[in-house]
Structure 1
Amino acid sequence: MTTNITKQRKLDPITFEVLRRSFEYTCERMSQVLQKASFSPIIYDMVDYSNAIFDPDINLIGQTANCPVHIAAMHFSARASIRKFPIEELGVDDVIVLNDPYDGGTHTPDVTMTMPVFYDGALLGFAVSRAHWTDVGGGFDTHLAGEGLRLPPSLLYKGGKPNKELISVIKNNTRTPQYIEGDIQAQLGALRAARDEFARLAEKYGPDVVRQGMREVLDYTQEMTKEAIKQIPDGVYEATDYVDSDGFSNEPVRLQVRLTVKGDSIDVDFKGSDPMTVGPINSPYANTASAVYYSLKFFLNPEAPANAGMYRQIHLTIPENTWLNPHWPAPTLGCTTVSSSKIAAAIWMALAKAIPDKIVAPTCSDANWYVASATDPDTGELHVFTDLPAGGWGGTPTHDGMHVTMDPLGNCQNLPAEIAELLFPIRFNAFEMRTDSAGAGRFRGGVGVHVEVEFIGRGEMIWMECSRTREGSPGVNGGMHSARQRQLRKTRDGQLQTIGGLDDDGTWHPQMLGGVQFKPGESFVFESTGGGGWGDPLTRDPELVAQDVREDIVSKKQAENVYGVVLTDTLTLDLLATNAKRIELSNHRNSKSVLR
């Protein structure tokens, strides 16, 4: 693609491409170091971290494809760090740490470390590493103070020497002190890997050329984003979504989004969204902004380099004192996992009205993140573990959705059962795909999962957030909702009790959990949902439905009642009966719409 910026470049194309790819490689090397050196399973196995580099003005230059919800938020962290510690006061190997949701952070477990990088005494850029620590001492609460240790921008390393007093304070405020120093050193290693890569580039090309490459890669992404926005018809597109509750009320918490596309820019407006909540789903500005950017990135030239050049064409209006732009001391623990995913889902549903032939149906729209404790019955030792049981993605214009895949907010993985049983006094009794959990459609959603974790000793669900317990994931273009999510307790005699979501008798229980106790031998059961469907399920290829039934993705009953596909006892397709059933269902739907 030839753009205006291509014509205005000062760097030759080869040097530009080498630098562009080097910025990306620098972040990849940071992540390799962090994952290999970290002590926490949530980092080395579940990949809940992100690494990025920034130019001297703290504009995002490069990133790894780890947790998209972290990335745009990280420049708020870096800028807050430099406001507290001006660059004139910082030297080589100085590192600033923070996790304060109202001073550059998002939720307290995400801890961000920022290090300036110098070359020949001049600032070349910044290396930034964010990792989700297993525990910072908090839990389910109505006040930010109850969510654990809150670090304002603080100097963690000076000239490469650790602030031992600060590290001691951090270790005294966590249930998992055994991980802290190892994870800190792993993040430090990631920052130093970026420092070394910066130095190699500066030695080869000179610092001025490296800085010019940063400017040009930002402009390049901006131009590619402009061209992508021009492909979306001008207009105003609106949608709503909601979190099922904040855990302290039975009322849904709604967001309203309005996308105004005009020429080569998009205005994103959240006026009309609900006020701040009592419970911990409030999303600080940095988190909301990041959710907007990553949700739009899917449809604004995803091949463009991922950097701050994209942000220039997206303008945000996020009213203060709403749950999408709260103020202290509103709790924020679920902001990155539940709130950001609802923002993304609403934006995707709004885009479905603008580009229906390109949009993807919403995912399960949640990380379903939980933190639990388990006591060893032999030693009495308390262990803390965490997991992210994924759901399905929505159907696309050309393919079915992916099964049991982390929501777009992150590229994280679930906690492997083998690792969990090795480290903690728990037992995984089930981890299996959930039949009929996907939203039906011409291209159905992917399915969710059924998980059962048994506590060998006493257990506690310290915290769990999820949503989609009222009606599942919405479909687009005639696609249908997925199944509902649900949280349950399985007693020692095998009885199931709903503790979050819709009970069998129709009673709904708040889905934000905290302080839920489990006796030895009892299990926590979670049923995640699939993605929404794309297109009318009556237009799905009948043979594909039959194949889904054979693979236990769809039940024989749903095949007939939703897809209109009739199968014999041997699960082969009865085409004549299918045609008749589809006509019957179509007529029934049309009559219902007339009655409405």
Structure 2
Amino acid sequence: MTTTNYESSHRQLDPITFEVLRSSFVYTCERMSLVLKKSSFSPIIYDMEDFSTAIFDPNLELIGQAANCPVHIAAMHTSARASLERYPVNELSPDDVIILNDPYNGGTHTNDVTMTMPVFYDGELLGIAVTRAHWTDVGGGFDTHVTGEGLRLSPLKIYKGGKPNNDLINIISSNSRTPQYIEGDIQAQMGSLQAAKAELTRLADKYGVDKVRQGMREVLDYTQEMTKKAIRQIPDGEYNASDYIDSDGFTNDPVRVRVKLVVKGDRLELDFTGSDPVTIGPVNSPYANTVAAVYYSVKFFLNPDAPGNAGMYRQIDITIPEDTWLNPRWPAPTLACTTTTASKVASGIWLALAQAIPDAIVAPTYAESNWFTASASDPKTGESHIFSDLPAGGWGGTPTNDGMHVTTDPLGNSQNLSAEVAELMFPIRYNAFEMRTDSAGAGRYRGGVGVHLEIEFIGRGELIWMTCSRTIEGSPGVNGGLHSAQQRQLLKSPDGQIKTIGGLAEDGSWHSQILRDIPFQPGESFVFESTGGGGWGNPLERDSKLVAQDVLNDIVSREQAAKLYGVVLTDDFEVDEEATKLKRAEASIKS
């Protein structure tokens, strides 16, 4: 990364020292992530990588982060702030660690557990290390009251001077359906924090505390300047857009995000006035989660090469009215806030940006994590197991390329649960995980495709909950691009019969896409069909040879090639040029 063009009245470090420190802040977080991944007990952490690590300066401004879950990162400063308000730094000792997951006291949803540890050097506060991990189970589920979603931990000291608070750990373990993971995951997060301490101490030993702190200040200023420059490239104006979740699980009404994006000089304003009120179901998003969604969604278009830190936040103003579903009050449930709501906030912002920078925008993704948690009993031992998965979908088309296939939504760099790990640990069988034909939004550059997932329960099972959306319209396109296919949730019997349990059924009826307490008998399978990303540009302008290639690769069917792209193929997958020219001309006249 070049830093020679950066000018600031606050600059004191030479470019080489600045770059070494900047890189070291990122490396510190990468080492934290490696320790956490390698030492955790839960598959959702070590295999699916649903966690994040970050370091903050003494003023609680984000200094460095690893490439973990973007929806975690920008919300973690809220957790750290709540922790240090409860336990002020001057009352803490080295290796004291604070834990929390309370959505209304620094957290987002109860499964995301944050641990915060101040790092001292010669008795002075050098920085703050924070790690957040999604725990498999915290003893709750789908509810209309946040207390029903699991054990809530307001800031509590879980380590004092490096020694664990075993009484608290026992309470946490006793309130989880997966107690076998709890102690190991806590120790893994503690190990991650210790890695941060080691790296920051090493920097202070080498450069001195004053120079490290100066590096923290300058890296924030650097990102701020890069962000200012990026915002200036967007035309001034007001841009409005919206997106929605199909329902909150209790009513059949869509729940809408409404965003007004205002660009003025080098400042960006996001105003969510007009978004729907607090919902009965668990899609409400605490303020910290909504703000995190704003930051990661605009990061894509505000110089993504700039260091990821709070310098970007300085140029962004956010208005989120209270008592909307994007800024609720206790006790509104929040279970799906990170996995579903955050992605709709991001999609709404991308659709607004499509009006401002149409030639640079990317069409919305499938905009979900499609998170589900299920139980599965072992028919031989009777033991019950809990597992989760995050079946991905497609990203939207871009101004120059097609969208990526089966890739996690921008909200997180998490992975799906691998079939090998799942079948080794749980009494289930993965019968299918394959790309889904005709799931991508058509366009000059089409979206990426989603996936067809089929999980068979060997013993009795239950889909405890699932949060998703895009079951009514699919992912929207931009600049003339089309929507993708709808997502669907199905139950497959051993004889192959299919029953729709979420989304649009064959008879045209629609079933709520937020599921809970769905029983499965031995041999029955849960089938999920995720969608692709939206299309970019008019599909009639797509290179006909690329359409033929898509048909050959089972990404697009022959029928859709003719209907949406106006491309007619011969039996050997060659483009029938005359028939295609005629069909595209007819389609252009109709449009």
Between the aligned partners of 1:331 and 1:3, the Cα distance in structure 2 is 47
Between the aligned partners of 1:418 and 1:30, the Cα distance in structure 2 is 26
Between the aligned partners of 1:206 and 1:76, the Cα distance in structure 2 is 28
Q: Which residue of 2 aligns with 1:317?
A: 319
Q: Which residue of 1 aligns with 2:106?
A: 104
The 5 A counterparts of 1:244-259 are 244-259=246-261
Aligned to 1:515, the other structure's residue is in SS state: strand
Within the alignment, does 1:397 sit opposite 2:399 as a pair? Answer: yes
The partner residue of 1:122 within 108, 121, 124 is 124
- Given residue 107 of structure 2, which amino acid in structure 1 is its aligned partner? G
TM-score where L is the length of structure 2 = 0.99
Between the aligned partners of 1:14 and 1:482, the Cα distance in structure 2 is 47
**Superposed CA offset, 1:530-570 (max 9, x none):** 00000000000000000000000000000001100000112
CA shift for structure 1 position 494: 1.1
**Superposed CA offset, 1:426-451 (max 9, x none):** 00010000000000000000000000
- Given residue 76 of structure 2, which amino acid in structure 1 is its aligned partner? M
CA shift for structure 1 position 458: 0.6
Within the alignment, does 1:64 sit opposite 2:62 as a pair? Answer: no
Between the aligned partners of 1:508 and 1:146, the Cα distance in structure 2 is 27
**Superposed CA offset, 1:368-395 (max 9, x none):** 0000000001111000000000000000
Q: Which residue of 2 aligns with 1:367?
A: 369
The 5 A counterparts of 1:57-206 are 57-206=59-208
- Does structure 2 retain, via aligned residues, the 8 Å contact 1:243–1:339? yes
Between the aligned partners of 1:7 and 1:81, the Cα distance in structure 2 is 34
The partner residue of 2:236 within 220, 234, 237 is 234
TM-score where L is the length of structure 1 = 0.98
**Superposed CA offset, 1:30-70 (max 9, x none):** 00000000000000000000000000011000001110000
Q: Which residue of 2 aligns with 1:429?
A: 431
- Given residue 393 of structure 1, which amino acid in structure 2 is its aligned partner? W
Aligned to 1:483, the other structure's residue is in SS state: coil
Moved more, 135-144 or 523-532: 135-144
- Does structure 1 retain, via aligned residues, the 8 Å contact 2:10–2:218? no
The 5 A counterparts of 1:171-570 are 171-570=173-572
- Given residue 357 of structure 1, which amino acid in structure 2 is its aligned partner? D
**Superposed CA offset, 1:175-195 (max 9, x none):** 000000100000000000000
CA shift for structure 1 position 172: 0.4
Between the aligned partners of 1:7 and 1:316, the Cα distance in structure 2 is 28
Aligned to 2:445, the other structure's residue is in SS state: coil
Between the aligned partners of 1:569 and 1:137, the Cα distance in structure 2 is 56
- Does structure 2 retain, via aligned residues, the 8 Å contact 1:5–1:219? no
Aligned to 2:515, the other structure's residue is in SS state: coil
Between the aligned partners of 1:4 and 1:136, the Cα distance in structure 2 is 46
- Does structure 1 retain, via aligned residues, the 8 Å contact 2:441–2:535? yes
CA shift for structure 1 position 5: 3.8
Q: Report % sequence identity.
A: 72
Within the alignment, does 1:40 sit opposite 2:10 as a pair? Answer: no
- Does structure 2 retain, via aligned residues, the 8 Å contact 1:228–1:300? yes
Distance 1:294 1:352, change over 3 A: same
- Does structure 1 retain, via aligned residues, the 8 Å contact 2:396–2:533? yes
Between the aligned partners of 2:521 and 2:331, the Cα distance in structure 1 is 34
Gaps of 5+ in 1: 590-596
CA shift for structure 1 position 8: 3.7
Between the aligned partners of 2:475 and 2:493, the Cα distance in structure 1 is 29
CA shift for structure 1 position 493: 1.6
CA shift for structure 1 position 2: 6.3
CA shift for structure 1 position 4: 6.6
- Given residue 68 of structure 1, which amino acid in structure 2 is its aligned partner? P
CA shift for structure 1 position 7: 5.3
CA shift for structure 1 position 528: 0.1
- Given residue 259 of structure 2, which amino acid in structure 1 is its aligned partner? V
Aligned to 1:450, the other structure's residue is in SS state: strand
Between the aligned partners of 1:138 and 1:583, the Cα distance in structure 2 is 57
Aligned length: 589
Between the aligned partners of 2:6 and 2:77, the Cα distance in structure 1 is 27
Between the aligned partners of 2:558 and 2:461, the Cα distance in structure 1 is 38
Q: Which residue of 2 aligns with 1:593?
A: none
Between the aligned partners of 1:55 and 1:9, the Cα distance in structure 2 is 17
Gaps of 5+ in 2: none
- Given residue 327 of structure 2, which amino acid in structure 1 is its aligned partner? N
Between the aligned partners of 1:429 and 1:3, the Cα distance in structure 2 is 54
Between the aligned partners of 1:147 and 1:525, the Cα distance in structure 2 is 25
The runs of 4+ residues in structure 1 deviating greater than 4 Å are 1-4
Between the aligned partners of 2:412 and 2:577, the Cα distance in structure 1 is 42
RMSD: 0.8
CA shift for structure 1 position 327: 0.6
- Given residue 468 of structure 1, which amino acid in structure 2 is its aligned partner? R
- Given residue 75 of structure 2, which amino acid in structure 1 is its aligned partner? A
Aligned to 2:356, the other structure's residue is in SS state: coil
- Given residue 426 of structure 2, which amino acid in structure 1 is its aligned partner? F
- Does structure 2 retain, via aligned residues, the 8 Å contact 1:3–1:223? no
Aligned to 1:397, the other structure's residue is in SS state: coil
- Given residue 412 of structure 1, which amino acid in structure 2 is its aligned partner? S
- Does structure 2 retain, via aligned residues, the 8 Å contact 1:499–1:509? yes
Aligned to 2:516, the other structure's residue is in SS state: coil
- Does structure 1 retain, via aligned residues, the 8 Å contact 2:111–2:135? yes
